[in-house]
């Protein structure tokens, strides 16, 4: 794995180097995807009693997209469906401690994957 641009802060670098909850979630009951020509995000959730019990991701993209996906799973795990539905690009940017302006599309795409997963729950 190539070392990312050093314009990233330590939180972003940590989540890129050691992503949390990466990989498939076999018992997911809500799955959402979002992509653009440069990256794809797949978010898998296990929801029980209106709370997210577990969240995993599979991301193909730049270090910022991997870090954003990783931190999103941490924010989502244990969250109520209402709190999860409020997860936004700005929430993700704040949790990461910011990203370079040219990487703001990453948390936007991850937030779309979250919304898609929540919309697919129970369908």
pLDDT of residue 2: 52
Tokens linked to 42 = 């797949």
pLDDT of residue 85: 96
Quote the CA–CA distance of 69 and 57 in Å, as a whole number: 6
Three-state secondary structure call for residue 22: strand
pLDDT of residue 5: 53
CATH match of 10-120 with 3.20.20.80: no
Task: Decide if 29 contacts 46 (C-beta within 8 A).
Answer: yes
pLDDT of residue 122: 77
pLDDT of residue 6: 61
pLDDT of residue 52: 98
Task: Decide if 89 contacts 64 (C-beta within 8 A).
Answer: no
The CA angle 119-47-59, to the nearest 5 degrees, is 70
pLDDT tens track, the chain, 123 positions: 555 556 899 999 999 999 999 999 999 999 999 999 999 999 999 999 999 999 999 999 999 999 999 999 999 999 999 999 999 999 999 999 999 999 999 999 999 999 999 999 976
């Amino acid at each position: 794995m190539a070392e990312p641009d050093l314009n990233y802060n330590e939180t972003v670098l940590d989540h890129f180097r050691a992503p949390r909850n990466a990989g498939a979630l076999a018992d997911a009951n809500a799955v959402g995807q979002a992509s653009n020509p440069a990256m794809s995000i797949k978010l898998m959730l296990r929801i029980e009693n209106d709370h997210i019990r577990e969240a995993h991701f599979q991301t193909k993209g730049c270090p910022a997209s991997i870090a954003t996906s990783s931190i999103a799973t941490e924010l989502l795990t244990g969250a109520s469906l209402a709190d999860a539905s409020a997860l936004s690009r700005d929430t993700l940017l704040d949790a990461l401690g910011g990203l370079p302006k040219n990487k703001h599309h990453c948390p936007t795409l991850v937030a779309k994957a979250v919304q898609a997963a929540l919309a697919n729950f129970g369908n």
